[in-house]
Amino acid sequence: MDMAFDILLKGGIVVTGTGISKADVGVKNGSIIALGPDLSAEHAREVLDVTGKYIFPGIIDVHVHPVYLDDVEASSRVAAYGGTTTLLHFAYARTGESLYEQVEKMLLDGQRRSLLDFGLHGGMFEAPRQVPEIPKVMELGVRTFKFFLTYLKQGWYTDDYQLIKAMDILAERSGMAIVHCENGGAIDYLEDKYLKGPNASARFFNASRPAALEEEGIFRTIRLAEVVGCKVYIPHVTAERALRPIRMAQQEGLPVYAETCPQYLNLTQDIIETRGALAKIGPPIRSAGDNEALWAALRDGTLSVVASDHAPKAKDVNGDFLVQGFGSPQIETLLPMTYLGGVNAGHLSLVRLVQVLSENPARIFGLFPRKGSITVGADADLVVFDPNREFTIRAENQHSNVGYTLFEGRTVLGWPEMSFQRGKRILWNGEIVAEPGQGQFLPTLEHCNEPV
């Protein structure tokens, strides 16, 4: 084999889902072609000394909403500042819209404008109209679809009939259902009780969306999926008791996968008192005890993925709390905050960090081992991470168009230094050097692997 490398990373500490080793990484034609100690630099076109730095597989964020203040291009740019190299976006069909048309529109937009490789999830707000479109959408390479058990008043709710119908269609075609699991009817009643009238207050937000209703939604989703044999992915798990039906299903051998997010791992519900509507997220940020339970669930495998749920929405902190949107900017801080709360705080090993941010997302969504691994033959998607760099997160040094961060003033130890996608520079000297349209579309779930 011709071992003349396009890029040779020398002296780094390679961290994968299977272990840690001091190794050099040789890249050619966009792929990793050599991995080992003391690789020869004699014919390398470019040699980078990364001594003392970690080399991670590129981070894969499977939960991104590029339809608010950060569009497809902006989301990919902001993600790249945080060491992410692959994104899975939600392409939503609103009421009255065609699911196929909306997915096709975002696919084409991504191919023209994304800086990073990307895949898509279909998402529907009008299930009776859009569920029948699932088989046609799957022909585009989109095989995962999101449904809401919440937002009954808004008309976005998927009832049990439509949900199990969709799951049956997906099961027949080796697809997967992604379900926002909270009891929408009960939440709407509690919102009326706590968040309307003269005594309405943001401090009652968590009372309007209790963990019991998240647990109920997860249990119901899993049991409907069991009946028709559908794979299920539970996003943004927030609470200790919400883990119970997930653990039960996994012990029974059901194909149930679950995710949490850095905001649920590192923040507590008192942030509502200080940040108000900026911290309005659904499901809500909960207690310190829930933080600990989620870290434990990541360690024991109940939770397989950490993703951002990036939803950068404009909000009026002085306006009516009830009408403010759900969501916050999270994409740039996905890796640093998971590293801070996980590795630096002793909750996760380095290997487990890579599993939940890179390998498992790739495994569950059918991108492994091309993505999520540092092995010969894999795409050269790499992030060089400096564990000794101290960085204080502030709105003015973040890159989302939303203009705020829930981690304002948080000093982290460890920050991404450079990144590559298929051997091309993405993050370099603190700036993004990739160009719009550089990203490639990735069909999902062609070769799904169980997470580790």
What are the pLDDT digits (tens) for 195-254? 998 888 889 999 999 999 999 999 999 999 999 999 999 999 999 999 999 999 999 999
Residue 447 has pLDDT above 80, yes or no: no
Vertex 372 angle, CA 367 and 375, to 5°:
105
What are the pLDDT digits (tens) for 407-420? 999 999 999 999 99
- Strands (DSSP E) found in 40-105: 47-49, 54-57, 59-64, 84-93
Q: Which superfamily does CATH assign the domain made up of 7-54+378-432 to?
A: Urease, subunit C, domain 1 (2.30.40.10)
Contact 256, 223 (CB under 8 A): no
What is the CB neighbour count within 10 angstroms for residue 261?
A: 27
Where are the chain's structural domains?
7-54+378-432, 58-183+211-364
| Cα–Cα dist 448/142, whole Å | 13
- Quick check: bond before 443 cis, omega within 30? no
In this prediction the pTM is: 0.98
Residues 6+ apart with CB under 8 A from 305: 62, 257, 258, 259, 260, 356, 357, 360, 361, 364, 451
Q: Which tokens is 219 given?
A: 């249990």
What are the pLDDT digits (tens) for 249-276? 999 999 999 999 999 999 999 999 999 9
What are the pLDDT digits (tens) for 149-207? 999 988 899 999 999 999 999 999 999 999 999 999 999 999 999 999 888 888 999 99
Asked whether the domain spanning 58-183+211-364 has the same topology as the one spanning 7-54+378-432, the reply is no
Vertex 240 angle, CA 236 and 245, to 5°:
80
Select the CATH number that applies to the domain covering 58-183+211-364 from these four: 3.20.20.140, 3.40.50.300, 3.30.1330.30, 3.40.50.150.
3.20.20.140
| Cα–Cα dist 109/103, whole Å | 10
